[in-house]
Amino acid sequence: MATPAISPAVRIGHVHLKVADLQRALDFYCGVLGFELMQKFGRQAAFISAGGYHHHIGLNTWESLGGSPPPAGSTGLYHTAILYPDRPTLGDALRRLMENKIEIDGAADHGVSEAIYLRDPDQNGVELYRDRPQEQWPRTAGGELAMFSHALDLGALLIEASQR
Domain end position, chosen among 66, 89, 104? 66
| Sign, Cα dihedral of 93, 51, 87, 10 | positive
Do 88 and 145 fall into the same domain? Answer: yes
- Domain with 24, as residue range(s), is 13-66
Please state the domain count of the chain.
2
Rounded distance, CA 12 to CA 119, Å?
Answer: 21
Residue-level length of the chain = 164
Residues 163 and 102 in one domain: yes
Same domain, 27 and 61: yes
End position of a domain, from candidates 41, 66, 91: 66
C-beta separation of 114 from 90 below 8 A = yes
Looking at the whole model, is its pTM more than 0.85?
yes
Q: Establish if 59 belongs to a structural domain.
A: yes
Same domain, 87 and 153: yes
**b/e per residue 113-144 (b: at least 16 CB within 10 A):** bbbbbbbbbbebebbbbbbeeeeeeeeeeeee
Read off the CATH number of the domain in which 36 is found.
3.10.180.10
Co-location of 37 and 89 in the same domain: no
Same domain membership, residue 58 and residue 82: no
- What digits encode the pLDDT tens for the residues 20-66? 999 999 999 999 999 999 999 999 999 999 999 999 999 999 999 99
Shared domain for 87 and 61, answered yes or no, is: no
Q: Is residue 6 part of a domain?
A: no
**pLDDT value of residue 12:** 87
DSSP lists the bridge partners of residue 113 as: 131
Same domain (yes/no): 52, 118: no
Is the Cα torsion angle 136, 137, 138, 140 positive or negative in sign?
negative
Confirm whether 110 is domain-assigned.
Answer: yes
Tell whether 52 and 24 lie within a shared domain: yes
Summarised one tens digit per residue, pLDDT across range 105-134 is 999 999 999 999 999 999 999 999 999 999
